[in-house]
Structure 1
Amino acid sequence: MTAIRALIGLGNPGQQYEHTRHNAGAWFIEAFARACNTPLRPEKKFFGQYAKITYQGHELHLLVPTTFMNRSGQAVSSLAKFFKFPTSAFLVAHDELDIPSGQARLKQGGGHGGHNGLRDIISAQGNDREFMRLRLGIDHPGNAKLVTNHVLSAPGKAERQSIDDAIDASINVLPLLLQGDSARAMSQLHSIK
């Protein structure tokens, strides 16, 4: 397995989207940056908010694209090209309709599952899907027609707390993931209900 070198959190830019469920991936990066006392700063060449940190002996690049979700690949591919990272060196955090709020799942590779941010990253990386995903559950509204409104709405207080708890649990398994022990990281994270 390729060592993870960059953590990317997907979302939409601007205050109107900041607190919406679709920004759960961005919330993960923001929470991790806060935990590391590292501010994210605008970085034009990576089309996003960026920071470089050393975490438990690992050099990591943190990025929240400031492009819209369906243009996330622009930010990811610019980071990949600049540092000459393979796609497999990325952990991409994103909201996931098929997982209940308050749960998070790690997954290596796979398709985009209809997620526009993942679709654009896969496309921008020449159809390379071999990156690790951190899927942060936001629940499904129950009807496909309600999905857009659901992901672009803010969760209630209790739901937001459950998502934040899942983010904290995800941060707690990062050391295992960075050591290359994805099986144990998944086992630990996936056991949280």
Structure 2
Amino acid sequence: MATPIRLLVGLGNPGDAYQLTRHNIGASWLRMLASRFEIPLKHDRAKRAEIGRGLLLNHDVRLLVPTTYMNLSGEAIGPFLRYFRIDPDEVLVAYDDVAFEVGQTRLKFGGGPGGHNGLRSLIKHIDGNRDFGRLRIGVGHPGPSNDLVAFLTQVKMPAQEREQSLESSYLNDEILAWLFAGDWQKAMTKLNSVGNEDS
């Protein structure tokens, strides 16, 4: 895990109806990062994504939000990686994770899709490769008797919870610098231990 990050991805569903839902917290995170570093995101119909490129801490980085539906995310990301010759281990993907409560975020490298359709699609379209970074943003869980799909995609995330999730997933300059240097261990240790107690 000593590969510098070249692409940051935020997962979500397209359209205004989904923008403030839990399933779109990854896309919201990416847009927040783009705004922080004043990198414009432009819709590219051919690439089926909103894309941007700029300097983050003097590091040349591309940003991408697929404009496909979540379960087709890989159809946009896979070709993008091949076109720009970006390896999976040079990618960090931000997405919603029901395994963690609101206010908890985990940085992880590698692993399976964990039941997330966006990750499942991505893995499928990069030939089964699972070696990419993940920013797992906790959105909570409705409980076993509730409809998870509605919880994630049909109900707007309360403003306070959304703010908590974005705050917990904020990557400060120190963490970003480690990721751009390929030092995943330091970045994971820092983010995963500060204000992110295990549930």
Q: TM-score, normalised by structure 2?
A: 0.92
Q: Please state whether the residue corresponding to 1:92 is helix, strand or coil.
A: strand
Specify every segment of 5 or more residues in structure 2 that has no aligned partner in the other structure, as ranges: none
Identity %: 38
Deviation, structure 1 residue 87: 1.2
Post-superposition Cα deviations, 1:31-53, rounded to whole Å, max 9, x if no partner, equal: 00000111110112321110011
The answer to whether structure 1 residue 159 and structure 2 residue 154 are counterparts is: no
Q: Please state whether the residue corresponding to 1:51 is helix, strand or coil.
A: strand
Structure-to-structure mapping, 1:5-154, within 5 angstroms: 5-143=6-144, 145-152=146-153, 153-154=155-156
The answer to whether structure 1 residue 190 and structure 2 residue 182 are counterparts is: no
The one-letter amino acid of 1:184's match is: K
The one-letter amino acid of 1:21's match is: R
Instruction: Give the root-mean-square deviation of aligned CA atoms.
Output: 1.3
May I ask how many residue pairs the two structures share in their alignment?
192
After TM superposition, the structure 1 stretch with the greater mean CA deviation from structure 2, 124-133 or 153-162, is 153-162
Q: Please state whether the residue corresponding to 1:46 is helix, strand or coil.
A: coil
Distance 1:107 1:144 in 2: 29
Whether the 8 Å contact between 1:103 and 1:192 is mirrored in structure 2 is: no
Post-superposition Cα deviations, 1:67-117, rounded to whole Å, max 9, x if no partner, equal: 000000011112111111111111011000001111110111100011000
Deviation, structure 1 residue 19: 0.5
Whether the 8 Å contact between 1:32 and 1:171 is mirrored in structure 2 is: no
Q: TM-score, normalised by structure 1?
A: 0.95
Deviation, structure 1 residue 171: 4.6
Q: Please state whether the residue corresponding to 2:28 is helix, strand or coil.
A: helix
Taking structure 1 as reference, are residues 146 and 171 closer, same or farther at Cα in structure 2, changes over 3 Å only? Answer: farther
